[in-house]
Amino acid sequence: MVRQAEFKKLIILLLICFLPGYAMAEKFKYVFNKSDTLSYTVAANSHVDLTKIGAIAAVFQITNLSQNTFLGVDLTVESLAKNGDASIKAFFKKVSIVMMKNDSITTSDGSNWGGLKPGTIHNFAINPEGRIQPLTAKGGAVDPGMLMLWQILLPQLPARSINKGENWVDSVVFPLAITGMPPAQVVCRINYTYFGNEQDKPRGFDRFDYTIEGTSAQNKSIHISGKGLVQFDNETGKLFANNCEFEMQGAIDLALLGLPAELNASLPLTVKTQATVKLQNEN
C-alpha cells in the first residue's frame, strides 16, 4: 500500500509538470567568457524641478535646469575564475554631457564625478549572480563611487531558482557628492520581481521589474525613489536592457544660487532622471 501511494504521488507530480502553462522554477546567472567584450550605452536625462524653489528661481530668472548624459562603455573580461567570477575592465570610449540652463546650452566630454572622461578605465569584480566588488587599480586606489554605476548596469540576480511573480531584495551603498549638497553615503534598497518571459526574440527575454528606495543617515534631506525593468537573456547569460526612472530629493545650498554664504541656508530640490542601459553588441 505504501508503494502504491508513493506511485500515485509520482504520477500526479508528473502530470502537474506537463500541464499547459505550468512554469518550472528557473535559475538565472551571468555567463562571462574570456573573449567577451560587451558594449553598453548608458543614456540619462535629468531635469531639476524648480517648483519648490519658487520665488528664488524667479529672482535669478532660472526657468530650466536639465542635463543629458551619454556614456559608451566596453566591458572586457580580464580574467575568469573556475567558479565563474570575473575580473572586468570597463573602458569609457565616449562621454558626452549637455547642460541646459534656460535657453543656453553647454556641452562637455568629461565630468567631475570621479574624473570620468573618454579613455577612463575602471576595474571591478563580478560573480555569476551579479554581486559586484571594486578592484584595486594599478596605482593602488579603489574607486567605490563607481560601484553604484556597475550595480545598476548589471543588476544582481537571485541566488536561488524562482518562479514567475517571486521577488528578491538587494541593497547598494554608495557615496553621493553633488554640487551644493554636503557629501553623504546613501543606502539603496532594490526590490526585484520576476515577471516571466517576453517574446522579443526567438527564445524571448526574461523580465525583472524593480523598485528603488534610498536614504542617507548623514543627510536626512536625501531620498531616492524609482522603478525600472530589466531584460535578461538567460540563454547567453547577458543583460540586454535596463530601463529606469527615479527621483532624488535633497536640499541645495543658497550660496550656489549666488546668495551670501553667510545665510547658511538651503532650499528643497528635486532631480528627476530617466536612464536607459542597452547592450549594443558583443564580441
pTM over 0.95: no
Q: What is the pLDDT of residues 246-281, one digit of tens each?
A: 998 887 766 655 555 555 556 777 888 999 999 987
Pairing between strand 223-233 and 238-253? antiparallel
Q: pLDDT of 189-221, one tens digit each? A: 999 999 888 776 656 789 999 999 999 998 888
For the stretch 114-143, pLDDT in tens is 567 888 888 899 999 999 887 765 544 556
Going 21 to 25 to 30 to 33, the CA torsion angle's sign is negative
How would you label 256-278 residue by residue, b for 16+ Cβ within 10 Å and e otherwise? eeeeeeeeeebbebbbbbebebe
Does domain 25-282 sit in CATH 2.60.40? Answer: no
Q: Which amino acid is at 282?
A: E
Q: Which three cell numbers stand for residue 206?
A: 526574461
Asked if pLDDT for residue 226 goes beyond 70, the answer is yes
Work out the burial of residue 135: count CB atoms within 10 Å of its CB; fewer than 13 is exposed, 13-18 middle, 19 or more buried: middle
